[in-house]
Amino acid sequence: MSIIKAVDVSHVRFRAPDLPRMRAFLEDFGMRDGGGSDGNLYMRGAGRAPFVHVTEPGQPGFIGFGFWAPSPDDLERLAAEEGVASAPSHAPGGGRVLRLTDPDGYIVEVRAGQAEAAPADLPPHVPWNQGGQYPRKGVFRRVPPRPSHVLRLGHVVVAVTDFARSEQWYKARFGLLTSDEIRPGGARDRPIGAFLRCDRGDDDPCDHHTLFLIEAPGAPRYIHSAFEVADLDDLMRGHEHLKAHGHAHFWGVGRHLLGSQVFDYWKDPWGNEIEHWTDGDKLPASQPGGFGTLDDLLGVQWGDPMPIPDEALADR
Helix (H, G, I), strand (E, B) or coil at 178: strand
Closest residue by Cα to residue 163 from 212, 209, 210, 215:
215
Average pLDDT estimate for 204-209: 98
- How many whole angstroms from its chain centre is CA 67? 11
Strands 8-16 and 53-57 come out as parallel
Residue 272 has pLDDT above 90, yes or no: yes
* Number of neighbouring beta carbons within 10 Å of residue 161: 16
The span from the CA of 235 to the CA of 154, in Å, is: 15
What is the secondary structure of 104-160 as a DSSP string?
TS-EEEEEESPPPPPPPP-PPPPPP-BTTB----S------SS---EEEEEEEEEEE
pTM: 0.95
Residue pair 261/255 in contact by the 8 Å Cβ criterion: yes
- pLDDT attached to residue 311: 43
Residue 243 has pLDDT above 80, yes or no: yes
- pLDDT attached to residue 112: 98
Residue 310 has pLDDT above 60, yes or no: no
Read off the pLDDT of residues 2-41 as tens digits, 9 standing for 90 and up: 999 999 999 999 999 999 999 999 999 999 999 998 999 9
Residue pair 112/77 in contact by the 8 Å Cβ criterion: no
The span from the CA of 236 to the CA of 117, in Å, is: 27
Residue pair 70/7 in contact by the 8 Å Cβ criterion: yes
Residue 315 has pLDDT above 90, yes or no: no
Give the pLDDT band of residue 316 (cuts 50, 70, 90): very low
Residue 312 has pLDDT above 60, yes or no: no
Q: What percent of the chain is modeled with pLDDT above 70?
A: 97
Total count of residues recorded for the chain: 316
Residue 313 has pLDDT above 70, yes or no: no
- pLDDT attached to residue 309: 61
Mean pLDDT taken over the chain: 95
The full set of domain ranges for the chain reads 8-115+149-305
Q: Which CATH number fits domain 8-115+149-305: 3.40.50.1980, 3.40.640.10, 3.10.180.10, 3.40.1190.20?
A: 3.10.180.10
Read off the pLDDT of residues 101-127 as tens digits, 9 standing for 90 and up: 999 999 999 999 999 999 998 988 889
What is the secondary structure of 30-53 as a DSSP string?
T-EE---SSSSEEEE-SSS-S-SE
Q: Name 139's Cβ contacts closer than 8 Å, sequence gap at least 6.
A: 126
- pLDDT attached to residue 133: 96
Residue 87: which H helix or E strand, with range? strand 87-88
